[in-house]
Structure 1
Amino acid sequence: MNLDPQNAFLSAQTGLAQLSTLIVSYSFSAVGAVILLIAGYLFAGLAERSVNAGLGRLHGFDQTLRQFFSKITRYAILILVVIMVLGQFGVQTASIIAAIGAIGLAIGLALQGTLQNIAAGIMLLALRPFRIGEYVEVGTVAGTVEEIGLFATRLHTVDGIYVLAPNSTLWNQPVRNFNRNKTRRNDITVEIGRDDDIDRAQTELLRLAAQDKRVKKEPKPTAFIGALAGSVVGVTLRYWTSDTDFLSSKLDLTKQAKEALDAKSISAP
């Protein structure tokens, strides 16, 4: 089959014209995509800093949550920019969004437990049932809080044990915070014989409480019979003190009460 040179030339010329048009068209798309990527990257950084600064002006808003929400804002904008860039080259963005949604659903199902910890971490940081430095008891977990993360909380027990508790565990159980209230009630019980003078014992305990500066004047300390067991009577001193003096006052007053009752005769006449 003979090829007509004139037809071949016209076909080549038509092909080159179409290629030139395609190159010009995609060149503009490529330039627009680069500009869009640069502008989107800069805007994402600006939005991240703005969200971080805006949340920082909210009183008591946790720094970990500030960083989390600012990063989420940044990555959401970057994903949107990438979808817009792909749209510049004729890619169907609807299918991309559907694919991203399907991938997100699959990841969410695979990381269900992890996402529960993240959600619980956000709630713990937002509602603050405990803060760093406070001693808490949650179920079988007890210790001083050292760090509250998005996935887990780190605690230090009184006997020096390192504890890393998942946030979902801490969020789904009642929290006993021993330092949140600034004052705490303390009870000290000493045992005396049934034949001893109970009134004298109560007076002596109240005297010890009155001379201790750590004991609050209000509510007033009280002394009463707390227990009866066989041949002994348990006399209880009840007083209020600051949370920081709770343990030291208990140890000191317990020792002082024992020494005072041993040194003074409280036997009934």
Structure 2
Amino acid sequence: MPIQDTLASSQTFFRTLAAQAAAFLPNLLAAILILAIGFFLARWLASLVSRAFGATGHTDETVRGPLIAIVRYLVIVLTLLVALTQLGVQMTSLLAVLGAAGLAIGLALQGTLTNIAAGIMLLWLRPFRVGDYIETQTFAGSVREIGLFVCHLETFDGLFVFAPNSTLWNVWMRNHSRAPSRLLAWSITLPREVDLAGARAALTQAWSREDEGRSQLAEPEAFLDQLTADAQVIVFRGRVQEGSTTRAQRWTAQTIRETLVERLGAAAEPRAIQRIVPGDADPSRYLGSGDAPVAGRPARQEGDTAPSS
């Protein structure tokens, strides 16, 4: 009798299990189908949004990547919720579990959440855009993509840089592409016997002509910076439009040498030509009187009209 009772109980258990499996199997297949359709729909919508952004031509490249990622993740989350509902999971219990799990995951992934917050601030304040060349304490490169978690950069020699957003938000940064123009300066050491006025005129006049083969400097200016017993140091500077800085840095020193020798003779051969960057505390870095700060007057913002001197 005990053996017969055990067999009967086992048969009842397996019949019940088979009946429950038969009832649950359609829901499981439906949930799997929903997941497959949802993931396919997420990829398709992300691709559609990407093509739409590319077709309009009016969307900033900086926000394109994050918006596409938000669309994809939103569809995936909705798909998971619908699939779990299909399996019989109650939404109230599911939200409670998700809340507890979210708290635990948030504590475990504080760095990831920090990157998301930093990514949102980067997209909101936009200290740089896609295509800008930026420099931080550890690396420098051109921005190729700005995401919710990381930014992709490319160094000048073609290396790929995977930078978490928090490493870009919490440090100082130089954006070499933000300003429409940049001040470049060169220190030129000449023999003492070279005519100072002639050297200054030769330099400023050479860059006043419209010559496409010459590195273009706006507002060229040359002045005497130092004078020693056997040499004189001239600072030559001007503003270069964004996009022409590389050409100016490569060819201006050679053009300075050729101009001085051509205009003033072999005696004007420079002893040294060195590119310099005036310090923030050096008042000579201001090209005009309207650029220099004055006590009691706010600094002139970009786009303001300079006061007449």
Structure 2 vs 1, CA of residues 104 and 229 (structure 1 numbering), >3 Å: closer, same or farther?
A: farther
From 224, 227, 230, give the equivalent of 2:228. 230
Larger radius of gyration between Structure 1 and Structure 2: 1
> Would you say 1:168 and 2:169 are equivalent positions?
no
Q: Distance in 2 between matches of 1:257 and 1:36?
A: 74
Aligned length: 241
**Residue 170 of structure 1: how far off its partner (Å):** 0.8
Using the size of structure 2 for normalisation, the TM-score is 0.61
Q: How do residues 1-269 of structure 1 correspond to structure 2 at under 5 angstroms?
A: 27=23, 42=37, 53=48, 56=52, 59-60=59-60, 62-87=63-88, 92-124=90-122, 128-158=126-156, 163-211=161-209, 212-213=211-212, 219-225=218-224, 227-228=225-226, 230-231=228-229, 232-262=231-261, 264=264
Identity of aligned residues (%): 33
Structure 2 vs 1, CA of residues 182 and 84 (structure 1 numbering), >3 Å: closer, same or farther?
A: same
Counterpart amino acid of 2:94?
I
Q: Distance in 2 between matches of 1:135 and 1:201?
A: 35
Structure 1: gaps of 5 or more residues: 1-18
**Residue 200 of structure 1: how far off its partner (Å):** 0.8
Structure 2 vs 1, CA of residues 261 and 127 (structure 1 numbering), >3 Å: closer, same or farther?
A: same
RMSD over aligned Cα atoms: 3.8
Counterpart secondary structure, 1:244? coil
Structure 2: gaps of 5 or more residues: 1-14, 269-309
More helix by share: 1
Using the size of structure 1 for normalisation, the TM-score is 0.68
Structure 2 vs 1, CA of residues 229 and 153 (structure 1 numbering), >3 Å: closer, same or farther?
A: farther
| Deviation by residue 1:91-112 (Cα, 9 ceiling, x = unmatched) | 5542332112211221121111
Counterpart secondary structure, 2:238? strand
**Residue 48 of structure 1: how far off its partner (Å):** 7.1
Counterpart secondary structure, 1:202? helix
**Residue 146 of structure 1: how far off its partner (Å):** 4.2
Counterpart secondary structure, 1:221? strand
Counterpart secondary structure, 1:164? strand
Counterpart secondary structure, 1:251? helix
Please say which of residues 91-100 and 65-74 is displaced more in the overlay.
Answer: 91-100
Please say which of residues 249-258 and 47-56 is displaced more in the overlay.
Answer: 47-56
